[in-house]
Structure 1
Amino acid sequence: MSPTMPAFISRLLRPFTSSASLSITPAGPIPAGAQKATLAAGCFWGVEHMFRKEFADKGLYDARVGYIGGDTTSPSYRSVCSGSTGHAEAVQLTFDPITLPYTDLLVFFYRMHDPTTRDSQGPDTGSQYRSGIFVHSAEQKEQADQVTEKANNQWWGGKVVTQILPAGEWWDAEDYHQRYLDVNKGGYECPSHKEREFPDLQ
């Protein structure tokens, strides 16, 4: 899909239902000591797909797409897309913090999307597409602040608008959204979702 395609057309091409689905359960039991990371970076199909591809054999146990940061209960995809619920489309990662440090996930997060556009990502516009890190502990908050400051100063020229907020209630997206791009080969991917080549953060 062309990056210049109007946002309203791209949204029309994103279905509210689908007949295809994959098993959405993790491949095996998740060990004790696993942690969660919750990140919003625009359309959650591409975000989930990129994190699975990058970290599948590096300590990532599971990745689910869903909704966070809103003020209504049991949000649906349709209601979130309306912009009326306050939720962001997000991915919740379950990972082994020993083999996959939380900071590695954050660095990749800042590489794989554009954190300088407020309430939009590529052709997708609306608060549901905002950039956000939803932290699950004081340690995650400290690490998110540190990585964000470095990425902002060294990569993004002081323009990062990513929110860093406590992780509130998480709502799984409907089953047909889970592993969407594994089921729907060639499905919509936001053109801003690509890994950028930046030097290591110092």
Structure 2
Amino acid sequence: MNTDDKRLDEISKYLSYVLRHEPQTIGLQLDAEGWASIDSLITSAAKYGRSLDRTTIQTVVANNDKKRFSISDDGKRIRAIQGHSTPAVQRKYSEKEPPEVLYHGTATRFLKSIHELGLKAGARHHVHLSQDIPTALAVGQRYGKPAVLEIQAMRMHRQGFKFFLAENGVWLTQGVPAEFLNTLDKLSS
């Protein structure tokens, strides 16, 4: 990764932190749908020693491989697509019928608890699910030795569980009871 890519990656992580979890650390206000004024973001970040500009923010949004952020149609606001843990944000997603199965990446050290208690959103507002195994595997690798869980999404949906699809292709649900998941045994890593 070259120096410019490292800088953009660091800025992406910073944006995730303030737009998903801790906007108050820089005095940034998010609305219920997670939007913040780009001008306010730049000004607030500067007060806390972080230099951002509109062009860099637009580059991070456009080039983020996970499509974590969006800029409003008028170009004045930014938000994280999903993954919020701050109570100020209560995004409304359209309910969707899920595919037969979805996947969740985690670390093997969490499997015992997950098989006992199911998947919980924890500090976030939703459990994040992937439509394919490679994406779930990549997510799991961030937390240690990866494990991929197969979620019986359609079976859950038929029993009244709600699923939502974020703009970046991440499936969201409130939680997954243990009886709807299985650990995949053979993974290429």
TM-score by length of 2: 0.26
Q: Which has the higher contact order (CA 8 A, sep 6+)?
A: 1
More helix by share: 2
Larger Rg: 2
